[in-house]
Amino acid sequence: EDQVTQSPEALRLQEGESSSLNCSYTVSGLRGLFWYRQDPGKGPEFLFTLYSAGEEKEKERLKATLTKKESFLHITAPKPEDSATYLCAVQDTGRRALTFGSGTRLQVQP
Amino acid sequence: EAGVTQFPSHSVIEKGQTVTLRCDPISGHDNLYWYRRVMGKEIKFLLHFVKESKQDESGMPNNRFLAERTGGTYSTLKVQPAELEDSGVYFCASSHLGRGTRDEQFFGPGTRLTVL
């Protein structure tokens, strides 16, 4: 059974204070690892998909990396508008369903 | 380009009643997914349509849930009769996927269902 564990559960940063979020996963065969951002009362917003170990993707202040066991979402010089819950999900080679972690609630204070 | 839309945004019903949720995927997306998050838990997969066909129903909790996608466009998820444990947020997602291409699922805003 696919499993996704995200840490920390919550993270409070000062504006400009860089950090990383972790996503550890167990899957029989990885088709893709997904990062989403979710704001309160809204649906998950797609950020990145990573498909193979060593792959990296960037978008503004966010950079996602992937190894065979985990993924990191690095946030460089965050701003208050980066405050949200960040969700990690994996997709097994055998099916299209996403298995989600419980998320990391990020708060960036000015 | 319009995103995934869901209706209603909120629904409050009594235990034993019936509720129907609707999802309109992004135009041209053949794949449509239903997920839900119950209180305090992570988002869980319910089922996957490819056009009008059910590809994977492994996440459907029981036979009180019925999903349809007539004509391969919008989809409905009916809960009948609703139970207290059905309360949560129901998300719909869609993706455009051809053979060998990559799958990026785009989510709607969700329908918050409260069963009293």
Which pLDDT does position B100 carry in this prediction? 57
Cα A4 to its chain centre, rounded Å, is: 11
| Predicted pLDDT of residue A55 | 95
Chain B CB contacts of A105 below 8 Å:
none
Report d(CA B20, CA A85) in Å as an integer: 28
pLDDT in tens, chain A (110 residues): 899 999 999 999 999 999 999 999 999 999 999 999 999 999 999 999 999 999 999 999 999 999 999 999 999 999 999 999 999 999 999 889 999 999 999 999 99
List residues of chain A with CB under 8 Å from any CB of chain B: 4, 31-32, 34, 36, 41-46, 49, 51, 87, 89, 91, 95-103
Q: What is the maximal distance between C-alpha atoms in chain B?
A: 45
pLDDT at residue B46 greater than cutoff 70? yes
Which of chain B's residues have a Cβ under 8 Å away from the Cβ of A34? Answer: 104-105
3-state secondary structure chain B: CCCCEEECCEEEECCCCCEEEEEECCCCCCEEEEEEECCCCCCEEEEEEECCEEEECCCCCCCCEEEECHHHCCEEEEECCCCHHHCEEEEEEEECCCCCCCCCCEECCCEEEEEC
Between residues B84 and A1, which one has the greater pLDDT? B84
Report how far residue B77's alpha carbon sits from residue B17's, in angstroms, rounded to the nearest whole number.
14
Q: In chain A, what residues touch B55 (CB-CB under 8 Å)?
A: 96
Contacts of A49 (CB under 8 A, 6+ apart): A32, A33, A34, A35, A57, B102, B103, B104
Within 8 A by CB and 6+ apart from B11, the residues are B19, B21, B111, B112, B113, B114
Report the residue count for chain B.
116
Identify the pLDDT of residue B65. 97
**pLDDT value of position B71:** 86
CA A33/CA A72 separation, integer angstroms:
11
